[in-house]
Amino acid sequence: MTLAIIGGTGLTQLSELNITGRQTLTTPYGDPSADYVTGELNGQQIIFLARHGHPHTIPPHKINYRANIWGLKDLGVTKIVAVAAVGGITADMAPARIAIPDQLIDYSYGREQTFFADDLDEVTHIDFTHPYTPSLRQQLLSAADSAAISIVSTGTYGCTQGPRLETSAEILRMERDGCDLVGMTGMPEAALARELGIDYAALAVVANWAAGKGAGEISMEEIAQHLEAGMSDVLNLLNCLISAS
């Protein structure tokens, strides 16, 4: 198994990673967000990629998702844990909590959604009934249990376009649709991993209440505080996941 961790807002690098190398790749789909960092964490070899670049400069709708995932496949990655900052919609999804979603709804648009677009021998469809790989999700759940970290073990992630945050009416619509969380990077990342046969699961860190779900306006200071608290648990969970592999 070669595990990759994709870090989102709040996780542009892994401070505990013993870095052994960096690889700059060019793919048939262009350049990835950043160099692929290889290293050891708890004695296991992993690959780390900063989704928004390092430093954090690429907005969600401008990320080259195809290049990112293609590059990981090219490096031999078979499992991806995607860390993402999200907004909480339903009552369980309070700020600083960690959720491991099991479903998603895609509201994004205009993004390159598939590798199966041009020069095809035949039209290709993937089964996306369960967008997150059940076996990898179970490994994350077991790691959270081993680390004694309280998490929300299911949930539906709604992927919006960004980079703006949502209106309160949009969040109410998403809640009616069944979304528990709102983020901007969950798609097409998950689908592209499925197309290339890479196991994929998400670790969602709730950075704030979604629009209209909390008191007052959403502030970047508030988001930063909650991410700092949540990312500490994420790192402990990842350490337990890697130790058990």
The response to whether 167 counts as a known ligand-binding position is no
Residue 35 has what pLDDT?
93
Task: Evaluate whether residue 174 is within a structural domain.
Answer: yes
Residue 16 has what pLDDT?
66
Tell me how far apart the alpha carbons of residues 210 and 222 are, in angstroms, rounded to a whole number: 12
Task: Evaluate whether residue 115 is within a structural domain.
Answer: no
The response to whether 52 counts as a known ligand-binding position is yes
Which structural domain range is residue 188 located in?
3-110+131-244
Q: What is the pLDDT along the chain (245 residues), one digit of tens a residue?
A: 589 999 865 554 565 667 888 899 999 999 999 999 988 877 788 899 999 998 878 999 999 999 999 999 999 999 999 999 999 999 999 998 999 999 999 999 999 999 988 777 777 889 999 999 999 999 999 999 999 999 999 999 999 999 999 999 999 999 999 999 999 999 999 999 999 999 999 999 998 899 999 877 776 777 777 777 777 888 889 888 988 77
Task: Evaluate whether residue 100 is within a structural domain.
Answer: yes
CATH number for 88:
3.40.50.1580
Tell me how far apart the alpha carbons of residues 137 and 88 are, in angstroms, rounded to a whole number: 20
Tell me how far apart the alpha carbons of residues 24 and 242 are, in angstroms, rounded to a whole number: 25
Residue 148 has what pLDDT?
93
Task: Evaluate whether residue 236 is within a structural domain.
Answer: yes
Yes or no: say if 86 and 183 are a contact pair by the CB < 8 Å rule: yes
Task: Evaluate whether residue 116 is within a structural domain.
Answer: no
Tell me how far apart the alpha carbons of residues 108 and 192 are, in angstroms, rounded to a whole number: 14
Average pLDDT over all residues of the chain = 90
Task: Evaluate whether residue 125 is within a structural domain.
Answer: no
Tell me how far apart the alpha carbons of residues 135 and 226 are, in angstroms, rounded to a whole number: 29
Task: Evaluate whether residue 215 is within a structural domain.
Answer: yes
Residue 13 has what pLDDT?
52
The response to whether 208 counts as a known ligand-binding position is yes
**Domains: count for the chain:** 1
pTM tops 0.95, yes or no: no
The response to whether 61 counts as a known ligand-binding position is no
The response to whether 70 counts as a known ligand-binding position is no
Cβ partners under 8 Å of residue 99, min gap 6: 86, 92, 93, 151, 152, 153, 154, 155, 180, 181, 204, 206
Residue 169 has what pLDDT?
97
Task: Evaluate whether residue 209 is within a structural domain.
Answer: yes
